[in-house]
Amino acid sequence: MDAEAVGAPRRRVTNGAYYAAGIAFLALAKLKHMLGGYRTPKPLASSETDGCIDYDLKVADALLSQLHRCGGVITGADVLELGPGSDLGLGLYLVDKGAESYTAFDRHDLAAKVPAAFYARFAERLNIAPHFDRVRYVARDDFDLAAALPARSIDVVLSNAAFEHFDDVERTVRQLADVVRPGGRIVAVIDLQTHSRWIRDKDPNNIYRYPHWLYRLFYFPGQPNRVRPEQYRACFERHGWRDVSIFASTRFDSHGRDVHADFRDCAWLDARSIVLCATRQ
């Protein structure tokens, strides 16, 4: 008997256990949202000022590196960030790096609650003068980009771990095509894995174990949408974007992990996250 056959019973037990645990985490995530709404976009508490600043700088540098990789530049650019999270530190950093302006757009009004002391510390850490006159923050429950921004007013779109939370990716990409100037760039880091903190480390593909009807029973605004990389590519190409490139930024060993039949033929099942780059036609 080969090793594959010997290990099959153990894999069945493991997959069954993760399936059951995932249901519990889905229920817990919905309950937490019902009780407290969406409050934790970062893996840090907002009171951890220096930790949050370090996180902002790490995200900013990673996004700028990918922008440079796909031929975009930040100097002189009108920048839009989708899903800025709990503060606008990234925007201040980009303006200091040469961006003409920075607009943060979100569904959840989280950044409005940041104390002035955070930005004072941010400016102190970076030895910069915070240019708030070139930073704009817009939060809308309807997430209507076309209503919030003028047509063809953006050169660069950046997004870190936000697209997977959009309820209507098709609408968002269509509206992006309206507000981005021809030749504009997008760099989006998209987190494909389950988001509950314990199980994402143990079973990154847990959210793909369930049929659509069961997963939707636990729906709440911002629940990971399970849109796959090939679907993102097709969506951007449909709505006026060219040179769409996608690569896995982090991977894991997916061997022996079950997913529902709806996802078994999908590519990138070993990707924890991807980076998508594209150019507006």
Q: What pLDDT is recorded for position 112? A: 86
Buried b (16+ CB within 10 A) or exposed e, 31-48: eebeeeeeeebbebebee
Q: What pLDDT is recorded for position 37? A: 75
Look at residue 245 and tell me whether its pLDDT is greater than 90.
yes
Query: Residue length, the chain?
Result: 281
Q: What pLDDT is recorded for position 5? A: 58
Q: What pLDDT is recorded for position 45? A: 76
What does the pLDDT look like over 183-222, one tens digit per residue?
Answer: 999 999 999 999 998 999 999 999 999 999 999 999 999 9
Report the C-alpha gap between 8 and 234 in whole angstroms: 36
The beta-carbon contacts of 129-135 under 8 Å, at least 24 apart in sequence, are: 130/92, 131/92, 131/95, 131/96, 132/92, 134/95, 134/99, 134/100, 134/101, 134/102, 135/88, 135/91, 135/92, 135/95, 135/101, 135/102, 135/103, 135/104
Q: What pLDDT is recorded for position 4? A: 57
Tell me the domains of the chain and their CATH numbers.
3-280 (3.40.50.150)
Nearest in space to 244 (alpha carbons), one of 153, 194, 164, 177: 177
Look at residue 1 and tell me whether its pLDDT is greater than 70.
no
- What is the arithmetic mean of pLDDT over 88-102? 97
**Which residues are CB-contacts of 264 (< 8 A; sequence separation ≥ 6)?**
none
90 confidence band (pLDDT: 50, 70, 90): very high
What are the C-alpha distances in Å from 238 to residues 81, 199, 231, 235, 267? 22, 35, 11, 5, 20
CA atoms 257, 262, 263, 265: torsion sign: positive
Look at residue 251 and tell me whether its pLDDT is greater than 70.
yes
| Rounded percentage of the chain residues whose pLDDT exceeds 90 | 89
> Whole-number mean pLDDT of the chain?
94
What are the C-alpha distances in Å from 236 to residues 78, 190, 199? 21, 14, 31
Ranges of beta strands (E only) in the chain are 78-82, 101-106, 135-139, 154-160, 180-191, 241-251, 271-280
Bridge partners of residue 78, in order along the sequence: 101
30 confidence band (pLDDT: 50, 70, 90): very high
Q: Which 3 state secondary structure label does DSSP give 211?
A: coil
Q: What pLDDT is recorded for position 160? A: 97
What does the pLDDT look like over 118-168, one tens digit per residue?
Answer: 999 999 999 998 999 999 999 999 999 999 999 999 999 999 999 999 999
113 confidence band (pLDDT: 50, 70, 90): confident
Task: Give pTM, 2 decimals.
Answer: 0.94
Q: What pLDDT is recorded for position 39? A: 63
Buried b (16+ CB within 10 A) or exposed e, 141-178: eebebeebbeeeebbbbbbbbbbbbbeebeebbbbbbb
- What is the arithmetic mean of pLDDT over 160-179? 97
What does the pLDDT look like over 37-72, one tens digit per residue?
Answer: 766 667 777 789 999 999 999 999 999 999 999 999
Strands 135-139 and 180-191: unpaired
Characterise 60 by phi-psi region: left (phi > 0), alpha (psi -120 to 50), beta (else): alpha
Q: Which 3 state secondary structure label does DSSP give 249?
A: strand
